[in-house]
Amino acid sequence: MKPHFARTAAIFSAAGLIATLAACSTSESDDGTTQLAFFAAGRANSYSQAEIAGAQEAADAMGAKLTVFDGNFDPAQQASQFQSALSTNKFDSFLINAIGTEQVVQYINQAGADATPVVCIMNNCGSDLTNISPTVDGQVGFVGFSVGRQGELLAEQAGKACGTTSPCKVAYLQGMSTLTSDVQRTDAFKTALAKLPNLELVTVQDGNLDQQASYGVAQNILSANPELDVIVTAGDQMALGVKRAVAERSTSADVKIVSVGASTQGVEAVEDGTIFSTILLLPFSEGRVGAETAIKAARGEDFVDSVEITEQSEIGAVITRENASQFTPEWTN
């Protein structure tokens, strides 16, 4: 792996996972406190709130100062915030949950040229969100979960929900077809599902990452596909809307639901059997480990440059009825 900084030497272990920065930017406050900027996706969002709380815990524990920028789920606004923060020369490192993963690349490049490390969380930065290694010049770390792996796990869980049913008819609700993360997750899901001979994908539709919208979409899907067996969603908020639609339609009582998120409500639904399974997401851990990584990078300390967040879980990447009681969700939908 090549060094990310124009004026910073980097030494990597043979495994390529541990990086040591030999020099730091010079923007620490007068009292030597490490200054970390976190570009959150949207502060009003409960997932983002959990990430912020995790980052704050790490900053407090490591004696760093955390400044949070609210992107309000607007890629242009977040990119502008990043540009402005760079111009102040105030921050020693940057942490970002990129709303538009490609829109911020030029500013990550600029941070790298200024020897200011950048760590991306949740989704990787750049164009390839299936990769869990840093992919952009200036980016030194990634903490999150490959959308490609999420798609594969969703297909795997759909297969388990189908069992021996053949053909097993499956519908898929992605978030938004305009989002790079959804496009790549959906592609991975389709590819993995195609390898399961008894499963038939009958429709892919947008749930718009919204419970009420997904409720309406699910109603239409169920009406158009009376023999449907499984509905897979790319988020618990959508799964909860689907759950309501399934519950209201007596002829669809046996339709199983697979999701992503492991939110409080999602895990509760898995426990009571109304959702078959939900793929693990850990926003508090993402924020905490991401902030730790960014602070260590700024200080020239050893850090792990690629963290698959499900490794923080002792029960694996999938929450099922068998293990749900052992898991404590990190966010409320």
Spell out the long-range contacts of 65-68 with Cβ–Cβ below 8 A and sequence spacing 24 or more: 65/29, 65/33, 65/34, 65/35, 65/36, 66/36, 66/38, 66/291, 67/35, 67/36, 67/37, 67/38, 67/91, 68/38, 68/40, 68/43
Residues 104 and 77 in one domain: yes
Give me 89's structure tokens: 């020369």
**Averaged pLDDT for residues 222-231:** 98
CATH of the domain at 104: 3.40.50.2300
Give the amino acid at 279.
I
Residue 313 forms part of a structural domain: no
**Averaged pLDDT for residues 92-103:** 94
Grouping H, G, I as helix, E, B as strand and the rest as coil, residue 170 is strand
H/E segment holding residue 280: strand 277-280
Instruction: Render pLDDT for 252-308 as a digit per residue (tens, 0 to 9).
Output: 889 999 999 999 999 999 999 999 999 999 999 999 999 999 999 999 999 999 999
pLDDT band at 27 (very low <50, low <70, confident <90, very high): low
* pLDDT, averaged across the chain: 91
What's the Rg (C-alpha) of the chain?
A: 21
Residue 316 forms part of a structural domain: no
Give me 274's structure tokens: 């109304």
Q: Does the pLDDT of residue 21 top 80, yes or no?
A: no
Residues 20 and 98 in one domain: yes
Spell out the long-range contacts of 212-217 with Cβ–Cβ below 8 A and sequence spacing 24 or more: 212/241, 213/238, 213/241, 214/173, 214/238, 214/239, 214/240, 214/241, 214/242, 215/241, 215/242, 215/244, 215/245, 216/241, 217/173, 217/241
Which range marks the domain in which residue 40 is found?
Answer: 10-144+283-308
Q: Does the pLDDT of residue 19 top 60, yes or no?
A: no
Instruction: Give the pLDDT score at 23.
Output: 34
